[in-house]
Amino acid sequence: MSRGGGPRAQAPVVLYAESMTNRRLLIGSAGAVLAKMWLPRAQAANSVVFQHDLPGVNLDGWSVTAVEVNYPPGGSSTAHRHPGITIVYVLEGEIRSKVEDGPENTYGPGQMFIETPGQLHGVSRNASDTKPAKFLALLLAEKGKPLTTPA
């Protein structure tokens, strides 16, 4: 036997393994307790951002396309229509929009609006002449059809 060998050398290894196991159990238990405490709060913090009735359309043979649209300061697009449903979520800056006969509105980050099939989107522009704006458009349309048509 070498110096410090034998059963004494093995005991610290066992204690180390036991302490690691205990530490893992403690950390796992603490994580579970914290998750239980915070999960109801996180779920309660989820709020509805947008709700709108959808038109009566059959979505068989349709697909969804997500497009990120970037407007430079003062940028805009020409009046247009979408043959399907378009849902817009503003990511950055402010967007001025007028759909059909509705009022012209300004939408900021986290706000949304919808265009139903064939509606005229007469105004779509960056509300700022100094800051860029960005939004995500989810376009639901029949497969193979154009997503946008000029007004």
What's the pLDDT score for residue 85?
94
Q: Are residues 34 and 71 in the same domain?
A: no
Asked if 132 and 58 count as a contact pair (C-beta separation under 8 A), the reply is no
What's the pLDDT score for residue 111?
96
What's the pLDDT score for residue 41?
58
**pLDDT tens profile 42-55:** 556 788 888 988 88
Mean pLDDT taken over the chain: 82
Q: Are residues 87 and 111 in the same domain?
A: yes
Q: Which of helix, strand or coil describes residue 114?
A: strand
Q: Which of helix, strand or coil describes residue 136?
A: strand
Tell me the residue range of the domain where 43 lies: 1-47
For the chain, the domain total comes to: 2
**Rounded Cα gap, residues 28 and 33, in angstroms:** 9
Q: Tell me phi and psi for residue 132, to 5 degrees.
A: -75, 165
What's the pLDDT score for residue 121?
95
What's the pLDDT score for residue 114?
93
Q: Are residues 82 and 124 in the same domain?
A: yes
**pLDDT tens profile 4-30:** 555 555 555 555 555 544 455 445 555
Q: Are residues 85 and 114 in the same domain?
A: yes
122 within domain boundaries: yes
Q: Are residues 12 and 73 in the same domain?
A: no
Q: Which residues of the chain have pLDDT under 70?
A: 1-44
Q: Are residues 73 and 97 in the same domain?
A: yes
Q: Which residues touch 78 (CB under 8 Å, ≥6 apart)?
A: 150, 151
